[in-house]
Structure 1
């Protein structure tokens, strides 16, 4: 199943290359890949990830009806603005889709992310959120209409005949919108305001992705698989600091470029293998970053100081190129790195029939993984206030993770659960949870106490300065142990008995425990367990992340010179099909100053990424055989060599940036302890986490500011990478002092923390 445009060089023709580097392998699928891909497709089908034909037809009808509505709307406002009849007749607007629907990976009941493109005289405030909103409100087919005009990316949410729609608006500098408008052209951004640029970004990025993958069907199946895997493993959430729809699409697309002729089975396997070896913050890019002619800012850590602080850059391909994963933190990067490692081990086990697809998709047992949790409860007095309050709190939860890890010197680590839980017995209420654990790999023969009272109060203060706060909007932060987790978080409201089913995580955890007790040095997996085993691997991941952040790294690969890829590159799933003779150091010594040109060696050849195209490539007389995995590792190293060396922020600079961002939200003389307050850390021999009573929330006056609904994560596919905008804090009164009823302190056996002493501002 070769990809169109990728032609074997042995036929005397060159292939079309997609991406900033040559592929790692042009090898086609083996029989094993064909069988496993069929199994994967059946698994995804049985999991209910595909919509029915009836639902697909219904969606198309809704989109067609919506397109008619906006065409009628633009004629109505054109006539109302006094345009002549000829202009009214020619007036036009168009509907475009983006997100999972446009990519073709949406499931049953999913939202449709849509964009309305209108002419220059159709304004966003008066016409889109005014007249169009009025027209929709009068239609019986439209329900749950909810405009969010003050969002960073303004959106109108509603259901049309039961189909959920998220509708954005882009006002172009054209008097007439042509029916054949191509919004992928940079010219549509001419004279566009910032909100229009951000609104157009989702569609432009989606279309670029589909053009930059070698085989769309293989890309779709692989992406559908990875989205499902990420949701099952609890790492699908942009607002929580993990990755959202756009991020997973870009990561999968890059793997498709590197293995253009591979089937989904191999693409999934190589996804984990590549990103397990990836040295973040080296960026993932589908194409080179172009400056463009409109002067819009693009991602470039060499010139933009803020870009240096991004931990896991995943760059959008459409101008202006931006980092779509700015929300990733040290904690969530660590968790995702562990999950990539787990996925890689399972895929390797599948090749030897020691695991199957069910193993890969085993859900992460979040409430079995830790002994201690933070529970964040929020409530409001009515449905509208609750929706506003919930969206605002969600946008701030990431700050709690950052503050706790910073104030405890990264020794107390947080794992945010990506989503809320609702108690049916308590309407207008929901809870968020964070797992807490001492940093892995640290000796636990002495006690150390983490007093995070001020940290929690800082977080609550940053939430309660919400400018549209109303009476009844409350937030409470408490500690709960695993045995005290409320029943409503479990399916059906029933706490499960001790799991009897042996999972991959529990099996690997048992192996790690046995290895630890026997004193041998084997590496094993097992994040999803509560006994803290397998610390060595997790410490190694922690150390790798911290080392990468603390050092200057190469952040991108420059485009390769136009060249060819050897057509016979092997499928890496079949390691016997290719061997490399010679020491890899000898290969490196043969590279020229240009970026990885091909190297000819006697009767065989080696392409610039270290992948051989013959079964007996000879580079030296050492007869040292390198496996295809090692060749692939060398290829990944080459991909991560690039032009942004020396422009990554250090760990200390990262903390200073977070301080600056937090200070934006502080209110002077608020009566709540700020960053300069000491964090009490004391020695103790007790191993416990003291529970804290709920703390009354601070409040602020109902000052003027943007609507809180802009902070709602909603169900957007997160294809726009713009950051959530903070509210303006003008004309706000000071919040009253917090009433602290009981200390919130965390005690773990910990050696180093006791020596660190207290933290001062």
Structure 2
């Protein structure tokens, strides 16, 4: 069968991946030294587990394998099987995720999969009998089954080690001990939950097959996971990068630089993905159609796939996009972090920065002036655990709604984690940084009124099917100076955070740029001239980007400075009405790129039905030798991305997720849990920016469509959603898009108030 992703060159040479490597250069003596320094740094950061903990994990996995074997024999006997079949009955435990990849750290979960025969059902036997067996064992604590999850899972701790256990029911009467789940035939007659559950193991094993050097891959991935956590971009559910996303990104870099050591792979990771033009997909191998008719990622045939902003495609059939949660805001943030990392790595090559600079924590609570705080509470620990999981799965909706209903003018930065106020029982809270989109003209008095957007989000959350009394959610706007103390270490707020932020940022920039003390001491006029040059450069970049095809996202990191002497930018009316002025900036960020986006070359001919990978696999790149320059690398990266992507990216119409929430707009639960129909007043945004022009508010329809059925007119052709780049679609000037009749606000907010 061969190794998927193994390609052949005309001269007989082989490589892993869908294109030829960018560079075959091997490590220098300096690379060897720096890679050793990186491993010591990671060890010093506590990223490797002890031998004692490693042995403990192996023992837990061994016990789990014994338990599921006993379980399947027990249910086989209960179903009336004869003793021979009971004796042959079998189940197996597989691992996946960070543990299987070999990059897990101390205290990490073990992602496991139980594979059982066709007569062992998920609902009755796995979540019934096996759950009962586990609940009666002293070693098992905090047992929490989640049968209604997208991928059903049983969470628990075994001897203090966290375990996530999935179940796959195969169409086999007997599970062989040497079962190979990488074979496509294993998916024959499998239900959707089984396919999804198997996917984790199949993808993990495929990644390990598709990288040229597993040890270098593991060290680099461990480094990038640490970087993502420190910089606040590690959370798949929040719209950032999860473990499998980073594994695929790192795996692709390993393919492009097969002979490089980890220190060079880290540098090339940032260099490549700083230049990457999303939504060009990252793929480790060609997308196979398969023989079972399962849906694979293909924007030409699947409309939903066209709206993915940062496709990172899994290599195992059926190939899927692992980053469907990414939003415009989170993509912007990650793009900024890629650029920052690239600049620091270049400075490290010149000995003007170190690993501490790269891994400097992102000061989230000093970076913005305005935040949303989302508090949730429940009656007991079990309720809070369920409520927390549901709310976390919906938080991305709040980002999407704010982006859509402010036409991308109000940008959101979700914090990838939660906090707990110890003075309150069964409480968790989340935060989201807010800022005005950079480069948008602002007039005094203009404001974002997102109260109804927040209410819609709360209504969708409160529609939780397992909702119980005591499960509550509250969303409020807080300024930086009013961030609660319990989110800080030890409950102590840092002194002068804003000033410290500016100093840290300047220190970091000086280390990266390598300026001397004499250069840094030249203040006043030199700094002003530099700022003016930077502003002119940014304006040129904006002009260039505006000319790029609308099929692509222009997400060059914005330039943001600290302005502490500006008057407050938000005046609060009710819960979340916000008034911005030109001082709304993010105080912690990388500089905007001075290079315009590269133009794509090549596209699929009309009517071509080949798979993405097949087209990509036919490309021939010339692998530079050890003396390749950055320009050669840039051209090689550009050629890698040339392909059949331009014709697939459509306008970002409203996603199905937001459409699903439309039903909540006419319904509000009262305190008794019943549903009432209410009429809402409309808060119309005072401006919407398109093509850098201010459109009069008289021409703009409401972004919140709460109505009682008094809809006079809808014109579908005019209901065009914003483009992917965040610029609103053209709005007709002659008449309102929607004409509605409304009554007073009534009791629309009785539940939330």
Shorter-chain TM-score range: 0.7 to 0.9
Following the alignment from structure 1 to structure 2, what is the Cα–Cα distance between the partners of residues 561 and 418? 34
Following the alignment from structure 1 to structure 2, what is the Cα–Cα distance between the partners of residues 737 and 541? 48
Following the alignment from structure 2 to structure 1, what is the Cα–Cα distance between the partners of residues 750 and 605? 46
Match of 2:259 in 1: 261
Aligned in 2, Cα 1:682/1:639: closer, same or farther, shift over 3 Å? Answer: closer
Q: CA deviation at 1:446?
A: 3.9
Following the alignment from structure 1 to structure 2, what is the Cα–Cα distance between the partners of residues 539 and 296? 42
Following the alignment from structure 1 to structure 2, what is the Cα–Cα distance between the partners of residues 291 and 8? 21
Aligned in 2, Cα 1:290/1:505: closer, same or farther, shift over 3 Å? Answer: farther
Q: 1:521 aligns with which of 533, 536, 542?
A: 533
Tell me how large the CA RMSD over aligned residues is: 3.5
Deviation digits for residues 228-268 of structure 1 (CA, Å, limit 9, x no counterpart): 10000000011111111110111000100000110000000
Following the alignment from structure 1 to structure 2, what is the Cα–Cα distance between the partners of residues 276 and 233? 16
Match of 2:434 in 1: 436
Match of 1:385 in 2: 383
Whether contact under 8 Å (2:414, 2:432) holds in the other structure is yes
- Please tell me whether residue 660 in structure 1 is matched to residue 659 in structure 2: yes
- Please tell me whether residue 327 in structure 1 is matched to residue 325 in structure 2: yes
Q: CA deviation at 1:478?
A: 1.1
Aligned in 2, Cα 1:676/1:125: closer, same or farther, shift over 3 Å? Answer: farther
Whether contact under 8 Å (1:34, 1:263) holds in the other structure is yes
Match of 1:632 in 2: 633
- Please tell me whether residue 680 in structure 1 is matched to residue 678 in structure 2: no
Match of 2:62 in 1: 64
Deviation digits for residues 607-637 of structure 1 (CA, Å, limit 9, x no counterpart): x24x44486xxxxxxxxxxx61111111111
Equivalent residues in 2 for 1:293-692, closer than 5 Å: 293-444=291-442, 446-498=444-496, 502-504=503-505, 507-508=508-509, 515-516=527-528, 518-522=530-534, 530-531=562-563, 532=585, 558-559=613-614, 595-596=619-620, 608-609=621-622, 611-613=623-625, 628-651=629-652, 653=653, 655=654, 657=656, 659-663=658-662, 668=667, 677-681=682-686
Mean Cα deviation higher: 384-393 or 98-107: 384-393
Whether contact under 8 Å (2:679, 2:748) holds in the other structure is no
Q: CA deviation at 1:198?
A: 0.6
Q: CA deviation at 1:737?
A: 2.7
Following the alignment from structure 2 to structure 1, what is the Cα–Cα distance between the partners of residues 150 and 399? 23
Q: CA deviation at 1:191?
A: 0.6
Q: Determine which structure has greater relative contact order: mean sequence separation of CA pairs < 8 Å that are 6+ residues apart, divided by chain length.
A: 1
Deviation digits for residues 25-80 of structure 1 (CA, Å, limit 9, x no counterpart): 11101122111111110110000000000000111011111101111111111111
SS at match of 1:335: helix
Following the alignment from structure 2 to structure 1, what is the Cα–Cα distance between the partners of residues 112 and 310? 28
Q: CA deviation at 1:498?
A: 3.1
Match of 2:37 in 1: 39
- Please tell me whether residue 282 in structure 1 is matched to residue 287 in structure 2: no
Following the alignment from structure 2 to structure 1, what is the Cα–Cα distance between the partners of residues 268 and 158? 40
Whether contact under 8 Å (1:375, 1:477) holds in the other structure is yes
SS at match of 1:437: strand
Aligned pairs, number = 626
Whether contact under 8 Å (1:281, 1:553) holds in the other structure is no
Q: CA deviation at 1:680?
A: 3.5
Mean Cα deviation higher: 322-331 or 641-650: 641-650
Following the alignment from structure 1 to structure 2, what is the Cα–Cα distance between the partners of residues 671 and 6? 59
Following the alignment from structure 2 to structure 1, what is the Cα–Cα distance between the partners of residues 559 and 68? 50
Whether contact under 8 Å (2:616, 2:643) holds in the other structure is no
SS at match of 2:112: strand
Match of 2:127 in 1: 129
Match of 2:741 in 1: none
Q: 2:212 aligns with which of 192, 214, 225?
A: 214
SS at match of 2:14: coil
Q: CA deviation at 1:151?
A: 1.3
TM-score by length of 1: 0.76
Whether contact under 8 Å (1:331, 1:414) holds in the other structure is yes
Following the alignment from structure 1 to structure 2, what is the Cα–Cα distance between the partners of residues 674 and 295? 46
Following the alignment from structure 2 to structure 1, what is the Cα–Cα distance between the partners of residues 386 and 626? 62
TM-score by length of 2: 0.77
Whether contact under 8 Å (2:615, 2:644) holds in the other structure is no
Following the alignment from structure 2 to structure 1, what is the Cα–Cα distance between the partners of residues 616 and 12? 14
Q: CA deviation at 1:650?
A: 1.4
Match of 2:50 in 1: 52
Following the alignment from structure 2 to structure 1, what is the Cα–Cα distance between the partners of residues 530 and 624? 42
